[in-house]
Amino acid sequence: MSRLLFIALPLLVLASIPLYLLVLKSPPPMPKLDLEEWWGPPELKQKQDTSIKPFEITFSETMVKELKERIKKRRPFAPPLEGVGFKYGFNSKQLDSWLKYWAEEYPFAERQKFLNQYPHFKTNIQGLNIHFMRITPKVPKDVEIVPLLLLHGWPGSVREFYEAIPHLTAVSKDRNFALEIIAPSLPGYGFSDAAVRPGLAAAEVAVIFKNLMARLGYKQYYVQGGDWGALIGSAMATFFPKEIIGFHSNMALTLSPAATFLEFVGALFPSLIVEPELANRLYPLSEKYSTLLEELGYMHIQATKPDTVGIGLTDSPAGLLAYILEKFSTWTNPDFRSKEDGGLSYRWTKDQLIDNLMLYWSTKSIVTSMRLYAESFSSRHFDLKLDEIQVQVPTWVLQAKYELAYQPPCILKLKYPKLVNASVIEDGGHFLSFELPEIFAKDVLKAIGEFRKLKNVKTEL
Amino acid sequence: MSRFTTVLAVAAIAVAFWYIFNWLQPPKPPQLDPNAWWGPIELKGREDISIRPFEIKFEKKVIDDLKYRLKNHRPFAPPLEGVTFEYGFNTAALEPWLKYWAEEYKFADREKFFNQFPHFKTSIKGLDIHFIRVKPQVSAGVQTLPLLLLHGWPGSVREFYEAIPLLTSQNSGYDFAFEVIVPSLPGYGFSDAAVRPGLSLPYVADIFRILMKRLGHDKFYIQGGDWGAAIASAMVTLFPEDVLGHHSNSAVTQHPHALLRTLLGALIPSLIVEDHLAERMYPLSKHLAYLLEEFGYFHLQATKPDTVGVSLTDSPSGLLAYILEKFAVWTRKEHKFKSDGGLGFRFSKEKLIDNLMVYWITNSITSSMRFYSENMSNKFREMNLEAFTSPVPTWALQARDELVYQPPAVLRAKYPNLLNVTVLDDGGHFLALELPEVFAEDVFKAVHAFKKWRSTHSKTDH
């Protein structure tokens, strides 16, 4: 009898862990959101301008001249160690060709025109002038226009969507709808104002974008996001299931205790958690964690000392280029760390990547962009325990081969019980819309088609 | 809190079993590659091993360029409302520093100041190693003892300038004074940087051992802080027969028994640490949270030093903020909550800019940060240096606001001949620079104890 107890007792204790995490644990309460929280200077509160103003991106002559001078006057950079490729970070041997191009060949006037090919606007939400692009397709009578909010991340920008937008907004005989795109710059990024006081984390950005879409007259809409856009989109879907009728993410991740528990279970019994051909995207866990440790230094410093590291990045275009392009290298394919050129020409032209840099440089927004990490990794934001609150909105995930982290559907369903589909592709990395715009757009359209079938709802404009 | 303690208890028991298992099988001694060469291959066999005098020069071209950059920096993002140094260096506090550096810092005077001590260079393992060497001016009957002083990051030889006169002069109560040898670490300041990967702690230890021998010191004393303490630790582990005594102001060990004892102390602190000092290491959650908050730079430099190094090479404002943030928050923990980072507390602007100049004019910030990557590499960690004890007599000086505190019970896991610890109710990470008198006095005290210990232990104990 006692022997039975000796075996049964620890088993019972062990079994109680999943029972608690997966079944008994009650979700945290929905956070109380202040939908009118003010992020701008207090003086402006009484005279808020709620109009929607057209906006044009300008690369002023002074800015361009100064940029070129700074690039030309750069200090000599430490030569890389022998044979290391990009393993110690951006290989300085590559800097000269990039900087020379930026200063001498990048056609500023042309690119300014390129960036203005879509209509841009600004409107003041909760004290911040929020920049966004709005692209409305021309449609025949029987095609419904359906709004899609596209959310970028770090170190990206609205530029990531430029190649995908024509595909997203295309009218096709295969579907009875066409997408109207609303693509804002996150607060503190690009042409959107930054908060003047602490507290603007992912949850608060979700509120800002909810208010933005309300300002633009949308009662119901879809949301797509990657990187911070995925986290913000997820927060929006968590808080506002009435307004968000479908959520598409290309970086789906949930970090709840239950999710971690299942990951550990799968370390012992992978077949319980993940399909065999996808197991290597998650296992062995030791490899996954050592890769994350290797790659998350930037996140660690930005979550704790953004203002420190941001000063050099504000002041030096070479510094900004190295810091940002390192991500476009490593996050597209981790094997690029062994390449001397970081594989940067694999999918993008120099113009494309420098366009994105210009949105950080010309707006001086690198520091404010990095503060989002400090805000969202604060104990206040963590205590909201957003990962443990389920999303009651139909969700669709697109999972690229080289995305930074992978979770199979059974884990994602902990957070997204209405997971409609997980598109797994054998190509692509973190900046998916930028890297594979057609595949990206196709998947988003497919998702929305399915969302519409599920709800069969007419979106009111 | 109690749930955490329970988890900690379970973890401690698991860890205990693991380390007891390891303890029963002592690790193999680490082997250094005798053919390690850190400079260009062409120089092998042709290096200049003479000891050449060296002078620090602040060249006009460099100064003019520096001033231009400082004066023409881009406008910085204003700090968030009500925030001091919690998000890092507050840009509102930046301008006075940049103005000082560009308009008031007396470059010619400071160059002279730097050269008040004799500087030299000599080539070791392919790298020109820079060092200061000061022989004491003492009367007959006062013994001269060789002392190797090792700086860390983001410091330099500048950290020792106020202590050097104290160490190299007669100190009443002692019948000895020091000949100090103060090198720039490889990749820092005026020492060359390695051209290939692999220059980790043990190899730097080897370079400094060779340096001391070349200067005629077969056996010597070592003092170190920050990376200097880690290098000293490597030296006393690998070459115990060469080191007469080891003084550290950043004593920290990750010996398996040390970790075990630390975890045990989380449950029963009185077993490990004196009551009034327990708060310097417990609760573990608080201190781990503090380290997590402060070690972003470490994480980044241990993985992508070349990336972040570009902006710091190019922008003196960037370099100043990045480095001075450490002098702010590592001197006193509460300085994080001061609008100026408490930088004026013990350091003059001149002192701190001196240190920055060492990084700026040598363009060494990137190579200095690579040391973190080398010391976090698999190759280095496999050597498992921490698992070895060292018989060398050791003395720890422990400032109140140093980043990590370990009591004697923990330090003894690695240093069984820990003779004493001096616990201060003051001071921070950059102790030699901040409290040079306290620092120097403690070094004298320690070496006196080392000598006494040596006379009663004729052979090095194991």
For residue A301, what pLDDT is reported?
98
* Nearby residues of B222 by Cβ (< 8 Å), 6 or more positions away: B147, B148, B150, B232, B235, B236, B243, B245, B246, B247
Among all residues of A, which ones are annotated catalytic? 227, 373, 430
Q: Which residue has the higher pLDDT, B28 or A187?
A: A187
Q: How far apart are CA B153 and CA A334, in angstroms?
A: 30
Using DSSP's 3-state secondary structure scheme, residue B389 falls into coil
Q: For chain A, which residues score pLDDT lower than 70? A: 1, 456-461
Residue pLDDT, tens place only, B233-276: 999 999 999 999 999 999 999 999 999 999 999 999 999 999 99
Band of the pLDDT at B292, cuts 50, 70, 90?
very high
CB B57 within 8 A of CB B123: no
Chain position carrying tokens 């520093």: B97
Length of chain B: 462
Section B441-456 average pLDDT: 97
Section B158-163 average pLDDT: 98
First to last CA, chain B: 41
Question: What ranges make up the beta strands (E) of B184-332?
Answer: 220-224, 243-248
Residue pLDDT, tens place only, B323-366: 999 999 999 999 999 999 999 999 999 999 999 999 999 999 99
Name the residue facing B303 among A196, A294, A322 (closest C-beta): A294
* Nearby residues of B7 by Cβ (< 8 Å), 6 or more positions away: none
CB of A329 within 8 Å of a chain B CB? The answer is: no
Domains defined for chain B, CATH in brackets? 41-458 (3.40.50.1820)
For residue B52, what pLDDT is reported?
97
Checking if the pLDDT of B1 tops 50, the result is: no
Token pair of A298, please? 């930037």
- B318·A92 Cβ contact <8 A: no
Rounded to the nearest angstrom, the gap between the alpha carbon of residue A402 and the centroid of all alpha carbons in its chain is: 15
Q: What is the dihedral of CA A401, A404, A409, A412, to 10 degrees?
A: -160
Band of the pLDDT at B461, cuts 50, 70, 90?
very low
Q: How far apart are CA A364 and CA B438, in angstroms?
A: 45
CB B50 within 8 A of CB B120: no
Checking if the pLDDT of B119 tops 90, the result is: yes
Name the residue facing A315 among B78, B83, B317 (closest C-beta): B317
- CA neighbours within 13 Å on the CB side: how many for A420? 23
Distance from CA of B54 to the nearest CA of A (A): 22
B429 catalytic per annotation: yes
- B318·A95 Cβ contact <8 A: no
Q: How far apart are CA A378 and CA B293, in angstroms?
A: 10
Token pair of B420, please? 């004493």
Question: What ranges make up the beta strands (E) of A258-328?
Answer: none
CB A53 within 8 A of CB A123: yes
Checking if the pLDDT of B25 tops 60, the result is: no
- A297·B80 Cβ contact <8 A: no
Average pLDDT along chain B: 94
Using DSSP's 3-state secondary structure scheme, residue B267 falls into helix
Residue pLDDT, tens place only, B200-214: 999 999 999 999 999
Q: Would you say the ipTM is above 0.90? A: yes
- B308·A371 Cβ contact <8 A: no
CB of A82 within 8 Å of a chain B CB? The answer is: yes
Checking if the pLDDT of B100 tops 90, the result is: yes
Length of chain A: 461
Q: What is the pTM of this model?
A: 0.94
Distance from CA of B86 to the nearest CA of A (A): 7
Burial A305-320 (b: 16+ CB within 10 A, else e): bbbbbbbbbbbbbbbb
SS3 content of chain B, % helix, strand, coil (to 5): 50, 10, 40
For residue A20, what pLDDT is reported?
82
Name the residue facing B321 among A195, A298, A311 (closest C-beta): A311
Quote the percentage of chain B above a pLDDT of 90.
Answer: 88
Q: Report the chain B residue with the minimal C-alpha distance to residue A91.
A: B306
Token pair of B212, please? 């001391």
Name the residue facing B322 among A302, A312, A322 (closest C-beta): A312
CB of A311 within 8 Å of a chain B CB? The answer is: yes
Token pair of B283, please? 């609760």
CA B238 to each of CA B32, B244, B356, B450: distance values in angstroms, whole numbers, following the listed order:
9, 13, 32, 19
Name the residue facing B81 among A84, A196, A368 (closest C-beta): A196
- B306·A89 Cβ contact <8 A: yes
Q: Report the chain A residue with the minimal C-alpha distance to residue B296.
A: A301
Residues in B closer than 8 angstroms to A295, CB to CB, are 303
Residue pLDDT, tens place only, A336-394: 999 999 999 999 999 999 999 999 999 999 999 999 999 999 999 999 999 999 999 99
Q: How far apart are CA B209 and CA B130, in angstroms?
A: 14
CA A17 to each of CA A4, A190, A416, B7, B234: distance values in angstroms, whole numbers, following the listed order:
20, 45, 21, 13, 44
Nearest Cα to Cα of residue A193 among A314, A35, A371, A63:
A371
> Lowest mean pLDDT: which of A402-411, A450-459, B74-83, B118-127?
A450-459
Nearest Cα to Cα of residue B232 among B446, B26, B461:
B446
For residue A25, what pLDDT is reported?
81
For residue A26, what pLDDT is reported?
86
What angle (nearest 5°) sits at the alpha carbon of residue B335, between those of residues B332 and B339? 165
Contact map slice: A 240-269 vs B, CB within 8 A = none
Q: How far apart are CA A301 and CA B293, in angstroms?
A: 9
Interface probe, candidates B73, B308, B329, chain A, greatest A C-beta count within 10 A: B308
What angle (nearest 5°) sits at the alpha carbon of residue A374, between those of residues A372 and A380? 105
- B193·A78 Cβ contact <8 A: yes
